[in-house]
Amino acid sequence: MHQRLLPEGVDRRPAWLTVKLPGGDGYTQIKGLMRGLDLVTVCEEARCPNIAECWGHGTATFMILGEVCTRACAFCAVTSGKRGGDVDADEPRRVGAAVAQMGLAHAVVTSVDRDDLPDFGAALFADTIGEIRRQSPGTTIEVLTPDFNGSIESLRIVMAAAPEIFNHNLETIARLYARVRPKAGYQQSLTLLLEAKRLEPRSRTKSGLMVGLGEEMSEVKQLLVDLRAHDVEIVTIGQYLRPSLKHHRLTRFWTPDEFAELKHFGMTLGFSHVESGPLVRSSYHAHEQAVAASAV
* Dihedral sign for Cα atoms in the order 145, 254, 19, 232: negative
What residue spans of 136-255 are helical by DSSP H? Answer: 152-159, 177-180, 186-199, 217-229
The amino acid present at 149, given as its one-letter code, is: N
Q: What is the pLDDT of residues 228-266, one digit of tens each?
A: 999 999 999 999 988 788 888 999 999 999 999 999 999
Average confidence (pLDDT) over 87-116? 92
Q: Which residues of 171-192 are buried (b: 16+ CB within 10 A; e: fewer)?
A: bbbbebbeebbeebbbeebbbb
146: Cβ contacts below 8 Å, ≥ 6 apart? 111, 112, 113, 114, 120, 121, 168
Q: For residue 154, say whether it is annotated as part of any ligand binding site.
A: no
Average confidence (pLDDT) over 141-153? 96
pLDDT recorded at residue 169: 96
Q: For residue 80, say whether it is annotated as part of any ligand binding site.
A: no
pLDDT greater at residue 75 or residue 241:
241
Q: For residue 43, say whether it is annotated as part of any ligand binding site.
A: yes
The answer to whether the CB of 196 falls within 8 A of the CB of 216 is: no
Of the listed ranges 50-64, 92-106, 184-198, 274-288, the one predicted with least confidence: 50-64
pLDDT recorded at residue 79: 78
pLDDT recorded at residue 5: 45
Task: Supply the pTM of this predicted model.
Answer: 0.85
pLDDT band with cut points at 50, 70 and 90 for residue 75: confident
Q: Which architecture, in CATH terms, is 20-292?
A: Alpha-Beta Barrel (3.20)
Q: For residue 207, say whether it is annotated as part of any ligand binding site.
A: no
For strands 40-41 and 61-64, give the pairing: antiparallel
2: Cβ contacts below 8 Å, ≥ 6 apart? none
pLDDT greater at residue 230 or residue 50:
230
Q: What is the pLDDT of residues 29-43, one digit of tens each?
A: 666 766 676 776 555
Q: What is the pLDDT of residues 9-30, one digit of tens each?
A: 445 778 767 655 555 555 566 6
Q: For residue 111, say whether it is annotated as part of any ligand binding site.
A: no
